[in-house]
Amino acid sequence: MELIDGKKVAEGIRAGIARQVAHSIDNEGTAPHLAAILVGDDPASHTYVRNKEKACQEAGIISSVYKYPASLSERELLTVIDFINNDPEIHGLIVQLPLPAHIPSEKIIRAIHPCKDVDGFHPMNLGNMVQGLPAYLPATPYGILQLLEYYKIETEGKHCVVLGRSNIVGTPVSILLSRKSYPGNCTVTLCHSKTRDLDAICRQADILIAAIGQPHFVKADMVREGAVVIDVGMHRVPDFSKGSGHHLTGDVDFGEVSKKAGYITPVPGGVGPMTIVALLCNTLKAFKKEIYP
Ligand code: GUN
């Protein structure tokens, strides 16, 4: 079994971004700028945004966080987005999800200018991605592709089973891995809550991507010997031996599955750091006008 070290791969990519940013500061006196909007007090969202801010700082990317109480109205949020859309000094904008229940996230995502939509959630970016045209790829799927590439994992003709059909992970990663490219050319099965014989389908996977949102859902008897197992889950488990009062665990029962897998991502230190660095990659692309010249 080979451990897929997302932390190490992400650090390498981030160092490359930092070099490009430093070069741009030296030569043009400008740096990429990512803005994040955070509404409400969901602790996991605050942690994600803090981690993104820290990663930006380490790469020399300017980051601004716009924090609002959960009582913010839809209209007020749209006004802030409009303001950032029209600020030429801000290159990327993300609105941290989930939003409070009274704000419809689809409407908010559509309000972000597609050129600044570094999360790749806007229908224009998703549509371009589906057609294989230049697009910001959603950060977690993009990070997973970069891991497969780094470890030179063969994907052509492989059966990839994806657990979970979210707009953020399951659906886009299944589309990306079925595209005619590397990583890609997989035969993809997208499983969800209505899938029958789930365990039997998982056992057919050469590549198993768990993004189902249930801690330790994937057990060893669902995994073929030698399979590549990518764990997107991120769950806080109360743990009073830790200063934070919790530890993180994934959708995969790492203890038992790691004995059977050919490659496996740990939690933490697998997909999580890659998601953040993929967002930095997209921010750099936005700054360089690489996707929409
Ligand atoms: N919530 C969970 N994952 C994400 C993400 O990748 N981007 C945003 N904006 N919100 C999220």
197-254 residue pLDDT tens: 999 999 999 999 999 999 999 999 999 999 999 999 999 999 999 998 999 999 999 9
SS3 145: helix
**Starting at the edge strand that comes first in sequence, how are the strands of the sheet with 187-191 ordered?**
2-3, 263-264, 228-231, 207-210, 159-163, 187-191
107-139 residue pLDDT tens: 999 999 999 999 999 999 999 999 999 999 999
| List of domains in the chain | 28-113 (3.40.50.10860), 139-272 (3.40.50.720)
pLDDT band at 145 (very low <50, low <70, confident <90, very high): very high
| Nearest by Cα to 179 from 214, 133, 125 | 133
Q: Please answer whether residues 100 and 41 qualify as being in contact, where contact means their C-beta atoms are separated by less than 8 angstroms.
A: no
Q: Measured between alpha carbons, how far is 203 from 179 in angstroms, rounded to an integer?
A: 23
153-188 residue pLDDT tens: 999 999 999 999 999 999 999 999 999 999 999 999
83-107 residue pLDDT tens: 999 999 999 999 999 999 999 999 9
- Per DSSP, what are the bridge partners of residue 34? 63, 92
**Using a 6 Å cutoff on CB, does residue 94 contact ligand 1?**
yes
pTM of the model: 0.97
**pLDDT at res. 199:** 98
Q: Whose CA is nearest to atom 2 of ligand 1?
A: 97
**pLDDT at res. 134:** 98
235 CA to middle of ligand 1, Å? 15
Give the residue numbers annotated as catalytic, written as ranges: 52, 96, 119
